């Protein structure tokens, strides 16, 4: 029995990649394709018997999982309907605030949710590597996180960069909200060794580059991930959809999906 997958934001860059990856997967079937009201893509045929629609509730009936890489407001709308219908969610949307994340946690009492700032298998392996590096390099090393994305990305720093910062801060026993530095200009004084710095680059068609730099005296250690195609995020998202099919309601991340916890 194939897993019935719905995809939100099918007219976008990520949505189109997800459609291609589902079409190539032997164990998945495209159940529904969604777009927001007024989208020029409404009515386009994307698979046999499947047209892009804005009738979310009707389209999601009978689906096993919805994959959502849209915007926070769209994700919250989808969340309400998925909870009502008992449809699991794979959420790669970034920029969610604390209240919206709390809503995910509440919905996870009834449905399975995989929520991660980055669905890439490689990035989530990096998260694990950062735990080890941060433990070993906990003293005498200044930590900076540098990320680069395409010119169309609307949030900064990226959700992945913030996720990396949270892993580092948690491992070091720090609160990222208190120790993060998101910009430097003018006479800033000497660097506070307890801070975690962020630098953001936006330009061209960069899919996503992330580096965590540990700068010590006489050496630098860099842990870097570079994505050359959005397919890496789609492949991870489909892996998460398979995970949800085999697991009960609850809040999960890609560390759960990959068995890294």
Question: What residues are labeled active site?
Answer: 149, 153
Q: Concatenated DSSP letters for 167-222?
A: HHHHHHT--HHHHEE----S---SPPTT-EEEEEEE-TT--EEEEEEEE-SS-EEE
CA distance 76 to 81: 9
With CA atoms as reference, report the closest residue to 130 among 219, 208, 223, 197: 223
Kindly list the distances between the CA atom of residue 206 and the CA atoms of 12, 90, 92, 165, 211, in Å, as whole numbers in the listed order: 16, 24, 18, 21, 14
Residue 152: count of CB within 10 angstroms of its CB: 9
Helices (H), 51-203: 56-60, 72-85, 98-107, 121-136, 159-172, 176-179
Residues 6+ apart with CB under 8 A from 44: 11, 51, 52
Cis peptide before 259 (omega within 30 of 0): no
Please report how the helices 159-172 and 121-136 are oriented relative to each other, as an axis angle in degrees rounded to 10. Answer: 30
């Amino acid at each position: 029995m194939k897993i019935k997958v719905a995809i939100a934001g099918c007219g976008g860059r990520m949505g189109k990649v997800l459609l291609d990856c589902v079409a190539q997967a032997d164990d998945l079937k495209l159940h529904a394709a969604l777009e927001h009201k007024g989208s020029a893509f409404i009515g386009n045929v994307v698979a046999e018997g499947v047209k892009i629609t804005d009738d979310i509730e009707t389209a999601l009936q009978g689906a096993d999982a919805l994959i959502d890489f849209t915007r926070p407001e769209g994700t919250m709308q989808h969340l309400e309907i998925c909870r009502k219908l008992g449809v699991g969610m794979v959420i790669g949307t970034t920029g969610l605030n604390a209240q919206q994340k709390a809503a995910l946690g509440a919905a996870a009492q009834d449905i399975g949710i995989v929520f991660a700032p980055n669905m890439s298998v490689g990035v989530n392996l990096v998260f694990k590597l950062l735990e080890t590096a941060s433990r070993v390099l906990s003293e005498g090393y200044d930590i900076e996180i540098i990320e680069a994305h395409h010119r169309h990305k609307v949030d900064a720093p990226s959700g992945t960069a913030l996720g990396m910062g949270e892993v580092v801060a948690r491992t070091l026993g720090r609160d990222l909200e208190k120790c993060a530095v998101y910009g430097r200009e003018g006479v800033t004084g000497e660097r506070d060794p307890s801070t975690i710095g962020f630098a953001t680059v936006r330009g061209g068609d960069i899919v996503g580059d992330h580096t965590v730099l540990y700068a010590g005296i006489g050496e630098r250690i860099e842990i870097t991930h570079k994505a050359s195609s959005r397919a890496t995020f789609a492949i991870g998202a489909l892996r998460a959809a398979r995970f949800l099919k085999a697991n009960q309601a609850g809040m999960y991340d890609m560390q759960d999906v990959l068995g890294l916890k």
